């Protein structure tokens, strides 16, 4: 049973560029959440997708956008990259009931460095 | 709104000694609480979670946590530390406002285990 997978594992970009990160959820899961983890910090919630719609969003600017596909995989897009966007981006999957007790399973993350 | 405070960004114990990692929460609704562990260059792995019912929760790798409503705490313990326990530990609370079940994390506690 494959867990949550993310690609790429590492990425280096320049300020002002755009980046797309990808996530495949755990088998049987239909909800994908994205988190940003800056160095030395806890993960911060970006947004959550369910049934191809953004269901909930954290305090991130519109430069951060996402998409969920019919097969439940998801993309995170960040436009006009800033140095402060350098972080580990984590994808988590869960079942779609949105119950607060549902466990979110995390992928290994994509480490983004913006120069 | 929910929030989590982890006291002590770094904790150091000797191998075989008791591990105690502290977490206090704030929640306007009955909380659902989680502990995750993060090994270097990896994603987050669920250790245990509290939803309802028994306040003493047992998790993987010998860890357990006790939910104390009167103290708004959910401290993580392990009777005897092992070298393999060295990692970063995150406490999180699950929120549910307007749809979605985002996790709000603390800033993490780095556990060091010494011989």
What's the pLDDT score for residue B98?
59
Residue A92 has pLDDT above 80, yes or no: yes
CA distance B104 to B106: 7
Task: Convert B59-90 to b/e letters by CB count within 10 Å (16 or more is b).
Answer: beeebbbebeeeeebbbbebeebeeebbbbbb
CA distance B10 to A111: 23
Full 3-state SS string of chain B: CEEEEEECCEEEEECCCCEEEEEEEEECCCCCEEEEEECCCCCEEEEEEECCCCCEEECHHHCEEEEECCCCEEEEEECCCCHHHCEEEEEEEECCCCCCCCEEECCCEEEEEEC
Residues in chain A with CB shorter than 8 Å from the CB of B49 are: 101, 103
Out of A40, A55, A108, the one facing B100 most closely (by C-beta) is A55
What's the pLDDT score for residue A6?
97
Give the model's confidence band at A97: pLDDT under 50 very low, under 70 low, under 90 confident, else very high.
low
Residue A101 has pLDDT above 90, yes or no: no
What's the pLDDT score for residue B52?
84
Interface test with B, best of A54, A101, A102, A109 (most B CBs within 10 A): A101
Residues A6, A91: contact at Cβ < 8 Å? yes
What's the pLDDT score for residue A79?
98
What's the pLDDT score for residue B30?
81
Cβ <8 Å between A101 and B104:
no
Residue A29 has pLDDT above 70, yes or no: yes
Average pLDDT, integer, range B3-23: 96
Average pLDDT, integer, range A66-74: 97
What digits encode the pLDDT tens for the residues B67-107?
999 999 999 999 999 999 999 999 999 876 656 788 999 99
CB atoms closer than 10 angstroms to residue B96: 16
- Least confident stretch, A96-105, B17-26, B99-108: A96-105
Give the model's confidence band at A91: pLDDT under 50 very low, under 70 low, under 90 confident, else very high.
very high
Average pLDDT, integer, range A66-73: 96
Residues A69, A20: contact at Cβ < 8 Å? no
Q: What percent of chain A stands above pLDDT 70?
A: 97
CA distance B51 to B32: 5
Q: What percent of chain A stands above pLDDT 90?
A: 85
What's the pLDDT score for residue B101?
80
């Amino acid at each position: 049973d494959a867990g949550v997978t993310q690609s790429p594992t590492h990425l280096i970009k320049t300020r002002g560029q755009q980046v797309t990160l990808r996530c495949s959820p755990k088998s049987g899961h239909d909800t994908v959440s994205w988190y940003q983890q800056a160095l030395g910090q806890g993960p911060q919630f970006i947004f959550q997708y369910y049934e191809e719609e953004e269901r909930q969003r954290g305090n991130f600017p519109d430069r951060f956008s996402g998409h969920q596909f019919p097969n439940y995989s998801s993309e995170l897009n960040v436009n006009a990259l800033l140095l402060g966007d350098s972080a580990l981006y984590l994808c988590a999957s869960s079942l779609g009931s949105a119950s607060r007790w549902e466990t979110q399973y995390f992928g290994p993350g994509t480490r983004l460095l913006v120069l | 709104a929910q929030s989590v405070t982890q006291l002590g960004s770094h904790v150091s114990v000797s191998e075989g000694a008791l591990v105690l990692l502290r977490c206090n929460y704030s929640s306007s609704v009955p909380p659902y609480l989680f502990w995750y562990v993060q090994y270097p260059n990896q994603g987050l792995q669920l250790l245990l979670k509290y939803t309802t019912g028994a306040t003493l929760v047992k998790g993987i790798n010998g860890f357990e946590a006790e939910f104390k409503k009167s103290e708004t705490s959910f401290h993580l313990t392990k009777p005897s530390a092992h070298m393999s326990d060295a990692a970063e530990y995150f406490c999180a609370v699950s929120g549910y406002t307007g749809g979605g079940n985002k996790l709000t994390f603390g800033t993490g506690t780095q556990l060091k285990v010494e011989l």
